Amino acid sequence: MNALSAFDLPADLDAKARPDLIATDEEHFTAIATTLADSIADLSERLDVVRKAPAGRGQQALDRDQEVHRLTARLRTLNRFGLDLCLGRMVAEDADEPVYVGRLGLTDRNGRRLLNDWRSPVAEPFFGATHGNPMGLASRRRYRWTKGRITDYWDEVFDPEAFEGNAALDDQSAFIASLGSTRSPRMRDVLGTIQADQDAIIRAGSRGALVVDGGPGTGKTVVALHRTAYLLYSDPRLEHRRGGVLFVGPHQPYLDYVGDVLPSLGEEGVRTCTLRDLLPEGAAAKPEGSPEVARLKSTADVIEVIDAAVRFYVTPPEQGLDVSTPWADDLRLTRHDWAAALGSVAPGTPHNEAQDVILDELVTLLADKHDPDTEVSAPVLRRALQRNQELMTTLNRAWPSLDPVELVADLWSVPAYLRRCAPWLSREEIRLLQRKDAQAWTVEDLPFLDAARQRLGDPATAARRRRAEAAAEAQRQQRAEVTFEIVDAIDDADDTMIILKGSDLQEALIEDIPRAAGDQDELNGPFAHIVVDEAQELTDAQWQMLLLRNPSRSFTIVGDRAQARHGFTESWEERLDRIGLDRVEISSLSINYRTPEEVMAQAEPVIRAALPDANVPTSIRSSGLPVIHGDAGDLPDILQAWLAENHEGTACVIGDHRFRPMPRVRSLTPTLAKGLEFDLVVLVDPDRFGTGTEGAVDRYVAMTRATKQLVILT
C-alpha cells in the first residue's frame, strides 16, 4: 500500500487489499480529502470575517453569535476527524455507484455529494437494512478506523448477484467484531455499527414520550445518545433556539464515560447533567437515612405541597387604602381593587416576579381614578407609587417576596405549616418529617427545593429590577436637567423646543435600559425534549423536576425495570401515566450485544429469583472465558495477572470500599457502576449487597458490566 492510502490493513488481511476491492474507495477518499481541506479553509475564512464584523445590537448580535457558534462547531468537527468522517458505503440494487455515509454531509465544489449525513433519509438503509428487509440495498460496507486509517472493513451482501466485487465477506459483522475490542475509560465510537433494531428507535418521532426498554448490553445508552443527535438534526422544533435537548444521566461517572459521544456526532450544544446538578444543593445532598421518610417524600405530590406553601403567604388586604400622588390626593384602592390586582397574575408567573405585575395593575387602576384632564404617563405614575411607603408596605404584606430554601425548610421544622400544606399526612408522618437541622438537605429534598425555585423564581429579581429602575431614573433626571438647561439658554426658543420639557417626551428620549436579571440557569429550561437514561430509578417526585422543564412532554425514556433497585412492579405505561405522561410508546431491545453468554448464564438466575418477569436479553456472543469463583484474598493476584496479560482495556472492582483504584482499574459501588462497562469485573463479597429486590438488582447490575470476564470473590 502506498503512503497516501486510506487503508492500513495488517498482513493477515491481504485478501482485502486487492485493488478490485478497494480502488473505488481510494478514489473516493482522495476526493473527500481534497474537499475537506477546501471546506476547512473556507470555514476558517468565513469565521474570521464574521468575528471581525460589528457585533450590532439585539437580534443582529444574536444572529452573529449563532453564526459564530455554527461555524465553530462544524470547523471543530472537521478538524477532529479526517477521512474517518466516512462510516461506510452502500450500493442500491439498481445502482452501480456506491453511496457513502458519514458523520456529516460533505459536498465538493462541483455539487457532487461525497458524504451523506448519517441522520439523513438517504442514509437510513445503511443502518436499517437486514437480510429480511434489505431496504433496496445490494450490499453494504463498514469501515474500522484506527488513528485516521482503515485497519479493517466488512462487507454484507443482500443480493446474491452482488457477490462479485465484495469478496471481503467475514463470518462476523463489523458490530460483532467491535464487541471483542477492549474497553476504554470513555465510550468508544460506535456510530458505524448501529444495528437495525437500534436505528429504528433512534429515528422514531419526538412527539410524546418514547420508552426504550431493554436489559443489560442491549445498547440503550448508545440509542439514547444517537437519538439525541438525530432529533436535533431532523426535528426543527427541537433546535437550540426553541429550547434544545437536555440529556439526564444517573451519575457523574456515567456522564464522564459518555462525554465524547455527542461532540463526535457534531452536537456540542446538548446540556448534560444528573438530577443532582439541577440544584446547587444537589452536590452535598445525602441519601435520606430513614426509608419511611424517603418513601413519604418520594411519593408526595410535590407541586401541590409547594403551591399550598406559597398560597399561605398570599393575603389580600381586608381594608381599602387611600393613596396620594403628586397629581391627586386620597385616591381610594378598595378591597375589590386589591383583589383585582392580585388576580391579574397569570398562571405560571413566578411568585417573586408577580409583584411587578400587581403593581402595574394598581397603576392602571389609580390612573383611571385620576381626573381625566390630568396627563401623567404610566411609567411616571409607577415611579411615584414606588415612593409611597404605605402602599409598598401593604403590597409586600399581601404578596411578599419568598425564599425557596426557607420555604422548604419551614416544611420540615414547623409541623402546623406542613399539616396545612399536606393535609393527607397523618400526625405520625408529620412528626417523622420534622428534623432539627431543617436545611440539612437530602437527595429526597431536591424535588421540593426545585419546585419551590420554579414556583417562586429568583427572590432577588425584584431587588435587581428596582436597582435597574433607579439607574434609569438617575439617567432620566440627568438628561432632563441637560435638556432644560439647553432650552432655557436659547432666548428665542420656539414651541417646538419648549415641548422638550414635557414629561412624556422626556420619557421617550430615555434609552430603554434593560431590566437587570440574574444569570439564567442553563438547566432551568424549558427544554424542547429531554432524554433520561436509567429512568427506572426515578421516583414520582423526581419526575416532577423534569416535567417542570418540559412543557411539551416530549421525552426519550431509557431504562430497564429489572434494574430498578427499589422495585418496579408496574408497567411503564402505568408508571408514566401516574406522573402525568399519557402519550407513551414502548420500544423494546432484547438482544444483548455486550455481555458474554458465560456471564449471563450466571446473572440471569440472580435477577429471576427476585423478578421472575424480568426482561433478560439474549446474548449473541461468547468470550470463551468462564466465570471464576475465588476467595476475597485473591484480589491482588487476580488484578496483577490480568494487568500483565492485558496491556489495554479497563477493569473494575465492585463491592470492596477498601480497594484503592489503580491505573486501568476502578473501584465502584453497584450504583455508580450502572451504565458503564469493563473488560474485567471483579465482584467482592456480593452477598453483602443486601437481600430482597435491592440486593438482587445490585448483584445483577454489577455482574453484567463485564464485556469479557467476570470474577466473583467471597
SS3 category, 178: helix
User: Both ends of the chain: CA-CA distance in Å?
Assistant: 53
How distant, in Å, are the alpha carbons of 31, 150, 153, 171 from that of 7? 15, 5, 10, 21
Task: List the one residue out of 261, 212, 279 whose CA is nearest residue 549.
Answer: 279
- Residue 343 C-alpha cell reads as 388576580
216 marked ligand binding residue: yes
Helices (H) then strands (E): counts for the chain? 27, 21
16 marked ligand binding residue: no
Answer yes or no: are the C-beta atoms of 608 and 616 closer than 8 Å.
yes
Establish how many alpha carbons lie within 13 A of residue 379's alpha carbon, considering only the half-sphere containing its beta carbon: 13
525 marked ligand binding residue: no
330: alpha, beta or left? (left if phi > 0; alpha if psi -120 to 50):
left
496 marked ligand binding residue: no
Q: At 346, give phi and psi (nearest 5°).
A: -70, 145
Say how far apart CA 663 and CA 117 lie, in whole Å. Answer: 38
220 marked ligand binding residue: yes
- Residue 459 C-alpha cell reads as 427572590
Long-range contacts of 287-296 (CB under 8 A, 24+ apart): 287/442, 287/443, 287/444, 288/442, 288/443, 288/444, 289/442, 290/432, 292/432, 293/432, 293/433, 293/444, 294/442, 294/444, 296/425, 296/429, 296/432, 296/433
Answer yes or no: are the C-beta atoms of 692 and 291 closer than 8 Å.
no
How deeply is 190 buried, as exposed, middle or buried, from its count of CB atoms within 10 A (0-12, 13-18, 19+)? buried
- Residue 52 C-alpha cell reads as 471581525
CA torsion sign for 444, 447, 450, 452 is negative
Say how far apart CA 511 and CA 509 lie, in whole Å. Answer: 6
User: Residue 43 carries which DSSP code?
Assistant: H
Say how far apart CA 456 and CA 311 lie, in whole Å. Answer: 11
Say how far apart CA 497 and CA 105 lie, in whole Å. Answer: 62
CA 565 to chain centre: 23
Q: What is the 3-state secondary structure (H, E, C) of 376-395?
A: CCHHHHHHHHHCCHHHHHHH
334 marked ligand binding residue: no
User: Residue 552 carries which DSSP code?
Assistant: T
369 marked ligand binding residue: no
Answer yes or no: are the C-beta atoms of 673 and 686 closer than 8 Å.
no
Residue that has been written with the C-alpha cell 479553509 in this structure: 41
Establish how many alpha carbons lie within 13 A of residue 182's alpha carbon, considering only the half-sphere containing its beta carbon: 12
Say how far apart CA 453 and CA 441 lie, in whole Å. Answer: 15
Say how far apart CA 120 and CA 139 lie, in whole Å. Answer: 19
221 marked ligand binding residue: yes
Answer yes or no: are the C-beta atoms of 307 and 455 closer than 8 Å.
yes
Q: Which residues are annotated as a binding site for ATP?
A: 214-221
Q: Which residues are annotated as a binding site?
A: 214-221
